[in-house]
Structure 1
């Protein structure tokens, strides 16, 4: 298994993986976002995940601010795990991963469709240029140095 940190990587993808990169993480978030799961028992039943792994993931999400722990009942001592704005902001990434999986990792028709709850039409992810609009060819997307890159990591020009 990979380490938990990617100290040598100066990249927002690597930083994201430190928080949500473990194999169960996105499935837990998927069930919270789209399946209505809030209780420990919901996640355990839906995913069949080992209890120690589930506890570690939920605790990590609370610590990272992706979920908050809310006491479900004073009498039972049970808690719900509710997504924060930070956690709900992962929805577009999950829709994009689902679309990729529908195209490249699934035989046949998509097993799940995402729809807009207001009008019922299908929801999808797009890569959009602020000037030109939709970008359909991934070869047209390039990575360039951003303002958050540490000065010592910027390549020198020859």
Structure 2
């Protein structure tokens, strides 16, 4: 399980240090892709395989399902760590996520999210302001929060 929030900076070559706790959970090789809300998602192999299986079950006859699958898979790449625990984030993914320098790496249960620091601050401020409303909506999911 991935938990916590860490702040780092990306170097001029597009390399980012991933926290040691997250490196252990992601494994030697993992999948990095475009995420929702303007961030990047990183999945360990077993989580990616489970997600891929779910995506395969989506009906090809629905244009929204096709669009989502294209979005998710076209931005995906396999990553591995260098000796210093860094990954190289491809230019297209850095551009998508608006990553230029300061980065926030967060654990979200089964995945790691990588955010441009400014986007994370904006997103978390909006979410915090709506937390009560969001909590009321997810009560319907019977999560027992």
TM interval, short-chain normalised? under 0.3
RCO comparison, higher one (Cα < 8 Å, 6+): 2
Q: Which has the larger strand fraction?
A: 2
Using structure 1 for the length normalisation, give the TM-score: 0.26
Considering only CA atoms, is the larger Rg found in Structure 1 or Structure 2? 1
